[in-house]
Chains A and B, each alone.
Chain A
Amino acid sequence: MTDVTTATESVEAFAARARDWLADNMPRVDLDSPPRAARDDEGAWQRARELQRRLYEGGFAGICFPRQYGGLGLDIAYQEAFNAETIGYEMPLILNVPTFTICCASLLDTGSEAQKRQHISAALRGEEVLVQLLSEPSGGSDLAGLITRAERDGDGWIINGAKTWSTSAFAADYGLLLARTDPTVPKHDGLTMFLVPIHAPGVTLRRIKQVDGSDEFCEEFFDGLRLGGDAVVGEVNDGWKVASRLLFHERRAVGQGSEFASGRGRERPAEFLANLLALAAAAGKADDPMVQDKVGRVLARRMVRDRLVDHVAQAMRTGSLPPAAGSIIRLFHSDVTFLEVDTASEIAGALGVVGDDDQDSLVGVGERYLSRQSVALGGGSDEMARNVISERVLGFPREYASDRGVPFNQVKHNKL
């Protein structure tokens, strides 16, 4: 990387230098129809790694990561100025979540010096993609009740168990895996976080095909995966602390409040949801006031979402709302998506479920409806978000839990 950045360069000068560099080095995109970077597409990940490598070589990667780990060690003002300059350019947005904003951010908080030097800088060079390996087939919401085991083997560890719903793990190199290392203590006290290679003997990865046909998510089976002692992140049996950092950074990332995200713009939704006016026209209903009412409601709701994200992110930064308030944004994403999907279905009518198999087909609308609930399940269910908001934003009493303070091996588990 070039080393023109100095602590004395002003934000304005930095932005001006970024503007010139972006113009010379990054591909332009049409803002009205940006390229779809589908997360289940292998090519999109190769493309993101290539773009990230260019950013690194140009000296614009990891603006807020410390210099000793390959970043620039600058303030968030520089990242924000850079983000503003990136509008209109293709950026490796799919690396923001979870690689930079969640995994690298948590490694920075809790990883060893060697882990930070190796993995954060590899990610910033576009050479490493990281994912979270948290959820298990045995249950989604009760994360600390996981049953994947890590057992000591000399200086190292042997992992047995299964993880699921890991985002884009097929495209990743390493995962942060939470495993049980002591079942004789209450559930939160016997967990350890490990940094594991995804493509290693003892790991079998399977992609999960969802009802809409996409297969971004994966499940992984661990059969005697051997890890060295240096794979432990943080302290042994103190993995919940590391997991809490992951969850903290995840909430900030979802709330667009992470200084480690680079580039602006959402990953693009499907065409027919993106443009409901075009859908209304395609369905021959553009002049129907009732359809205009419904489309207008969706447009308003999106505007509300964008301002709510800013409002909550700012309140979290100033401390007027606790970090758990990220769940408000999480819940609102469900609200908006439900409204979009339901409105599209209603506008498309029969054309959304049966029609000629050509490029004008609106059957995609009906297919999208089938996976409507995904948004209300991923990253914790809507119901968990409501628990978090009521308990940790409003301070209401916690739900009763029969495993509190009970050694994990004495807690009742699934019957099957």
Chain B
Amino acid sequence: MTDSTAEAALFVSTARAFLDKHASLSDVRALHASDRSYDPAWWQRAAELGWTALLVPEALGGGSISGNPLRDLASIAEEIGRTVAPGPLHPVSTVLAGLVEADNHTEHSDAINALVSGTQVAGWAVDEPGRAFHPQQPLLAATATAGGYRLDGVKDRVEAGPQADMFLVTARTDDGPRQFLVSADAPGVAVRRQRCVDLVKRYARVEFDAVQVDDAAAVGSVRQAPTLITRQSQIATVLQCAETVGILDTVFTMTIAWARDRHSFGRPLVSYQALKHRFADMTMWLHACRAITAAAVDEIAAGSPDAGLWVSAAKSYLGEHAGPLVQDCVQLHGGIGVTWEHDLHLYLRRITLYRSMFGTPSEHHQAIYRHVDEAGIPA
């Protein structure tokens, strides 16, 4: 083991110990019972463990020890999946990825510091009501004014929206798509909590009614904006995939333990061939999910021109297999699996949420088709 892989392993095991102690399934249930999403003090401690610093260069107050920060971040997401923990890791990471890579990142150093330290939280306002995930074609309008822009339009499905101190907003301009960093308490911004299948994840509809921002609110140049949006989309999507892998691994392990212990007709459930074969299929799906997610992480990290293709392959494969895998685990548990009391639904909720966010399997399949068709790759 090299020093950096040992460091990375320590980083992940520290995260896991923290999650086990402070973000267990009973903590998640308690948050839900008191109608809370997460404890801000808890998130600040998570930030102190380095979760928010990974995608941020050292010069901007961040840092990663392994040399592969995206892989480390994906490992954290996977660990979060083990207890479907709360917290704004995904939106904060996605927004930070855009901010730190923007050619005008110095304009946003206060925001970067606040996000890295965990004292503030950001939401990526990219989806719009009634529309599929089209990050490069926002309808929210940014109209040039003297010294800045006026934002008019509506976003929804904004993760951590009700908690966010700021939004990174995708907008349509005469020059193409741009992004703007907008304070949640700016005049004209109205945040309304939405309903969601997850117990603790919060989403919001955010209205922008003649919101004035100055030029410095722009993130990245006209030329750079589409690249940043693409990279943020890839990171947001692959973090969901990584968390899904953690969920599937946990649910599958839990179900195997159950089926070993549970006896019917004097035999353990795992001795029935009809069930063994279903466990074999699930084993295959789980390894495939893990392999394709790792591939997508590596392709994004390497800046591969085909990274989007790999992200779409991962998102669509997981989208089509995570649900059936967990539902099969519910079935193998029997009646207890559909009770509120059993923890399975906590996991099922999260993967059900992720299946349809940032593009459904079918939308990603079509994206793959277009990518391959346009690139002329033999398929």
Chain A interface (Cβ within 8 Å of chain B)?
31-32, 274-277, 286, 289, 292-297, 299-301, 303-305, 307-308, 310-312, 328, 331-332, 335, 383, 385-387, 389-391, 393-394, 396-397, 399
Contact = CB atoms under 8 A, between A and B. Distances in A.
A34 B292 CA distance: 27
B287 A328 contact: yes
Contact of B291 (A296, A301, A308): A308
28 contacts: A275-B379, A293-B369, A294-B365, A295-B379, A296-B366, A297-B361, A300-B317, A300-B364, A303-B310, A304-B292, A308-B287, A308-B288, A310-B291, A311-B287, A311-B290, A312-B287, A328-B284, A335-B284, A383-B277, A389-B279, A389-B283, A390-B277, A391-B276, A394-B276, A396-B276, A396-B279, A397-B268, A399-B273
A378 to B, nearest CB: 18
B133 to A, nearest CB: 15
A335 B285 CA distance: 10
Nearest to A388: B280
Contacts of A312: 287, 291
Nearest to A299: B368
B277 A299 contact: no
B151 interface: no
B294 interface: yes
B316 A311 contact: no
B373 interface: yes
Name which of B284, B316, B361, B378 has the most chain A CB atoms within 10 A of its CB.
B284
A292 B369 contact: yes
B284 A300 contact: no
Contacts of A295: 365, 369, 379
A394 B276 CA distance: 9
B370 A277 contact: no
Contact of A385 (B280, B291, B372, B373): B280
B185 interface: no
A387 B275 CA distance: 10
Contacts of B163: none
A304 B288 contact: yes
A292 B294 contact: no
Nearest to B312: A300
Contacts of A277: 369, 372-373, 379
Interface residues of B, number: 39
Majority secondary structure, A binding face: helix
A346 to B, nearest CB: 14
A297 B368 CA distance: 8
Contacts of A301: 317
Contacts of B370: 292
Given A277-B379, A300-B364, A394 B279 contact: yes
A304 B279 contact: no
Contacts of B287: 308, 311-312, 328
A274 B377 CA distance: 12
Contacts of A274: 378
A307 B369 contact: no
Nearest to A297: B365
A307 B295 contact: yes
Given A300-B313, A304-B292, A307-B292, 15 more contacts: A292-B365, A292-B366, A293-B366, A296-B312, A296-B367, A296-B368, A297-B361, A304-B291, A328-B284, A387-B273, A387-B276, A390-B270, A390-B280, A393-B280, A397-B271
A396 B261 CA distance: 12
B2 to A, nearest CB: 15
Contacts of B284: 328, 331-332, 335, 389
Contacts of A391: 276
B276 A390 contact: yes
B281 interface: yes
B364 A296 contact: yes
B13 interface: no
